[in-house]
Amino acid sequence: MDLLRIATAGSVDDGKSTLIGRLLFDSKAIFVDQLDSVEKTSHERGSEYVDLALLTDGLRAEREQGITIDVAYRYFSTPNRKFIVADTPGHIQYTRNMVTGASTSDLSIVLVDARKGLVEQSRRHAFLVSLLEVPHLVIAVNKMDLVDWSQEVFEDIRREFTDYAARLNIADVQVIPVSALTGDNVVRRSENMPWYQGASLMHHLENVQTASDSNMVDVRFPVQYVIRPHNNGHHDYRGYAGQVASGVMKAGDKVVVLPSGIPSTIKEVSTADGPVELAYPPMSVTVRLEDDLDVSRGDMIVRPNNQPQVAQNIEAMICWMSDKPMKVGQKLGIKQTTKSTRALIKELRYGLNINTLHRDEDATNLTLNEIGRISIRTTQPLLADSYHKNRTTGGFILIDEVTNNTVAAGMIIEAS
């Protein structure tokens, strides 16, 4: 059974948590005691209905304010597919949390309040989805019950978003009218909207095709750990453990270890359950080579004629996540795949206005939640692809070495 990673986004009070609660409830993915607790809390707060948003808003501050602050992960499954849902916050000051939730997603659901239409935050989140190259996007026009199930309202929002999305890099966009509160069009088709002939949200989530989203061509295996048991049964065992970032690996493949460039051949690929014929993303495996080579964490196993850039000069788009502004000349830690080193911010090419997509080339710094293009130089070479080509080897984070806080998430445009 395959897995679909979903991130929800949208403006404040568009109903993200309620929608996830509805998906969990209608797919029978919550326990009786959880439902009893939610019913009790809803009653204590004077709600006229069972507030399904309480299933995901777990922090006390979230429940008191009726908002989402942290990224909440929920797991459920249907007979057809398993799901991990990241419920990300809608407030503008929590944009960094949304980036965190969407960076590993296969599909993003951006909710739009049918009464308000597309607002600034809806556009911001749609742009971030395109920036993070999430392959599939669903615009869920929520609260259709509050606009009397109006087809005209839905079509106006669909038309407005389609015009905006034409400027973004999103391959697959679906617009679905729903009411998370009543459950219309979430798991079952709505009787209140006979004019809508498309699939329900759950039907789309169960059937969206993700097999072609993974990069199966470019073999990239970042080494995370070297396994040397040092016991009588495994005197000469040397294995390289990690997660396959892209491509397909099997015993007998000719490979090269970077950055040294030394060639070898794969002797065996195995998991915790034993040897496997093929390894592909996102499998975690141990690779053994025919030769005893000097391989350590941060190195990468690739094919001889298909290699990433070995680069110290990086051009990238970043989302700044720190309260302290980013400054040119700043020195930070950088982590890309399993490689950790240091980086210098050489130049801020431009800041980006999310709403107009206008480039501000006069920008001198980036503040919290702002996005821009920067040029950096690393102290040690990175083994990098462009983010467009490979979301794993093209992504990185910047780290404040004093506080150890992550201050930025980056997407590599080019490396040299």
C-alpha span between 52 and 37 (Å, rounded)? 11
- Three-state DSSP class for 179? strand
Residue 325 is predicted with a pLDDT of 94
- Summarize pLDDT for 246-288 with one digit per residue, the tens: 999 999 999 999 999 999 999 999 998 999 999 998 899 999 9
Burial degree of 358 (CB within 10 A; 0-12, 13-18, 19+): exposed
Are the beta carbons of 100 and 409 closer than 8 angstroms?
Answer: yes
Domains and CATH numbers, the chain: 2-207 (3.40.50.300), 220-302 (2.40.30.10), 309-415 (2.40.30.10)
The CA angle 302-308-313, to the nearest 5 degrees, is 145
Q: Radius of gyration (Cα) for the chain, nearest Å? A: 23
Determine if the peptide bond prior to 259 is cis (ω within 30°): yes
Whether residue 172 has pLDDT greater than 60: yes
Roughly how many angstroms between the first and final C-alpha of the chain, as a whole number? Answer: 40
Query: E strands of 66-218, at which residues?
Result: 72-77, 82-87, 107-113, 136-142, 172-177
Whether residue 323 has pLDDT greater than 60: yes
The residue among 347 and 17 whose pLDDT is bigger is: 347
Average pLDDT over residues 226-235: 78
- Summarize pLDDT for 139-162 with one digit per residue, the tens: 999 999 999 999 999 999 999 998
Predicted model pTM: 0.84
**Mean pLDDT over each residue of the chain, to the nearest integer:** 85
Percent of the chain residues topping a pLDDT of 70: 86
